[in-house]
């Protein structure tokens, strides 16, 4: 039997003692590095919890809390309302039609062109407010064509009169249908998933001009001549492309609920300041500076702009609310409409404890 030799590898004793130490050291370094990464992630997540619109309020309340030796408040998001689904707002609208012979005989009237447009491939794809515009134009043209043909073809004029009355009776439902399903209007009324980092008057004015045009059109008497379709389409396109109003609703919503959450922070600010005897404690001096610099000059200035824009938008929302029949839709628009007033009320209420602080600590109002 052949005997094979085996090679035996030996490790110096000093190397055997170094390996565990190096391994332990490497594990410690890796663990600390992972902990550092985790800390950065946690820090980023913590910072990102406060929406952009709340940065001035967040800085203000953090400074108040730090001055009082308290833990700064963590903002707790509140779920926003949602628009009723289009299927909930769908209307059962009777169809009004003309015979093929009558459709051919009205070609001399502008009504003939409108009927041809409705029966085209593009016409059948119309929806929302553009379809409602076309329905109103058809109704108006039916009345005009009936008058035009009254002397030359009384029988046809009588049928057109019947069609006009039937079409006119559907317009109220057509309007509700348009208000409920129009994509541009629904976009303008929904809450964005983010708030405004910067309140921009030019962007707001552009979006508001479009909304005013749409509300004006919807508020017109249904059987009156509608505004030019080009003007309506431009307004709808601008509404659909702009994110400003949805972000404004989100901004006001977040400001409203953050101010509510800040109430306990300043509820006893006069007592917390420690102005119980002659002289002001250093804490009161710091709080006085924080209030003037970080609330009055920063947070309240931002609140004033968002409230002003919200109040202007509320004027259009009030008209829209009056036109809507569906209770859930009405309630949703009412919530949008009240946001600016809610923020304004809460902002004033937030200042009241500070007024007590000014009195207790001997500060003059505005000083």
Give the mean pLDDT per block of 10 residues along the chain (367 residues): 34 39 45 40 46 94 95 94 92 78 78 77 78 90 85 84 88 93 97 95 97 96 86 97 98 98 94 83 94 96 97 97 96 98 98 94 78
**List of residues 6+ apart from 287 with CB closer than 8 A:** 64, 67, 68, 269, 273, 357
Same-domain pairing of 256 and 215: no
Return phi, psi of residue 110, to 5°: -55, -25
Q: What is the pLDDT, as a whole number, of residue 7?
A: 31
Looking at 241, 273, 305, the residue that finishes a domain is 241
Asked if the structure places residue 8 within a domain, the reply is no
Same-domain pairing of 219 and 259: no
Chain centroid, CA 18 distance in Å: 63
**Inter-axis angle of helices 327-361 and 244-266, to 10 degrees?**
40
Give the integer Cα–Cα distance in Å for 237 and 184. Answer: 7
Same-domain pairing of 208 and 181: yes
Same-domain pairing of 96 and 76: no
Q: What is the pLDDT, as a whole number, of residue 279?
A: 74
Same-domain pairing of 28 and 134: no
Domain that holds residue 249: 53-80+244-361
What pLDDT, in 10s, does the model give residues 241-277?
Answer: 999 999 999 999 999 999 999 999 999 999 999 987 7
Q: Name the domain count of the chain.
A: 3
Asked if the structure places residue 147 within a domain, the reply is yes
Q: What is the pLDDT, as a whole number, of residue 340?
A: 98
Same-domain pairing of 145 and 260: no
Asked if the structure places residue 98 within a domain, the reply is yes
Same-domain pairing of 73 and 140: no
Give the integer Cα–Cα distance in Å for 361 and 367. Answer: 12
Same-domain pairing of 306 and 230: no
Does the pTM surpass 0.75? The reply is yes
Chain centroid, CA 11 distance in Å: 71
Q: What is the pLDDT, as a whole number, of residue 223?
A: 74
Asked if the structure places residue 296 within a domain, the reply is yes
Same-domain pairing of 20 and 65: no
Asked if the structure places residue 167 within a domain, the reply is yes
Contact between residue 141 and residue 110 where contact means Cβ atoms under 8 Å apart = yes
Same-domain pairing of 165 and 252: no
Q: What is the pLDDT, as a whole number, of residue 132?
A: 93
Same-domain pairing of 96 and 111: yes
Asked if the structure places residue 5 within a domain, the reply is no
Asked if the structure places residue 367 within a domain, the reply is no
Same-domain pairing of 33 and 120: no
Q: What is the pLDDT, as a whole number, of residue 23?
A: 41
Alpha helices by DSSP H, the chain:
13-48, 55-68, 100-105, 110-119, 121-124, 128-149, 154-181, 183-189, 201-219, 229-241, 244-266, 269-273, 282-290, 300-323, 327-361
């Amino acid at each position: 039997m052949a005997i094979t030799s085996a090679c035996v590898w030996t490790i110096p004793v000093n190397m055997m003692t170094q390996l565990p130490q190096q391994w332990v050291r490497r594990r410690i370094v890796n663990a600390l590095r992972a902990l550092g990464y985790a800390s950065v992630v946690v820090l980023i997540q913590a910072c990102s919890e406060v929406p952009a619109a709340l940065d001035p309020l967040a800085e203000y309340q953090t400074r108040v809390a730090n001055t009082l030796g308290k833990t700064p408040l963590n903002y707790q998001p509140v779920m926003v309302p949602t628009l009723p689904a289009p299927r909930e707002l769908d209307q059962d609208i009777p169809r009004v039609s003309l015979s093929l012979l009558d459709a051919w005989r009205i070609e001399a009237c502008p009504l003939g062109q409108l009927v041809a447009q409705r029966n085209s491939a593009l016409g059948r794809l119309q929806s929302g407010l553009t379809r409602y515009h076309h329905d109103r134009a058809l109704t108006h043209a039916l009345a005009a064509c009936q008058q035009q043909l009254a002397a030359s073809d009384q029988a046809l004029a009588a049928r057109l009169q019947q069609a006009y009355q039937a079409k006119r009776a559907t317009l109220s439902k057509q309007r509700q249908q348009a208000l409920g399903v129009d994509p541009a209007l629904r976009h303008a009324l929904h809450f964005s998933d983010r708030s405004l980092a910067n309140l921009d008057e030019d962007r707001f004015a552009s979006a508001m001009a479009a909304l005013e045009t749409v509300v004006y059109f919807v508020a017109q008497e249904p059987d009156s001549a509608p505004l030019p379709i080009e003007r309506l389409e431009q307004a709808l396109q601008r509404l659909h492309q702009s994110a400003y109003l949805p972000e404004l609703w989100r901004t006001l919503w977040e400001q409203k609920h953050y101010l509510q959450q800040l109430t306990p922070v300043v509820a006893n600010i006069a007592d917390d300041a420690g102005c119980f005897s002659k002289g002001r404690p250093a804490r009161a001096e710091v709080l006085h500076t924080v209030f003037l610099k970080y609330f009055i000059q920063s947070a309240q200035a931002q609140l004033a702009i968002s409230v002003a824009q919200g109040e202007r938008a509320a004027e259009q929302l009030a008209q829209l609310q009056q036109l809507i029949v569906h209770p859930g839709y009405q309630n949703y628009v009412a919530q949008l409409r009240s946001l600016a007033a809610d923020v304004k009320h809460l902002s004033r209420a937030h200042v009241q404890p500070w007024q007590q602080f000014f009195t207790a600590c001997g500060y003059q109002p505005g000083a």
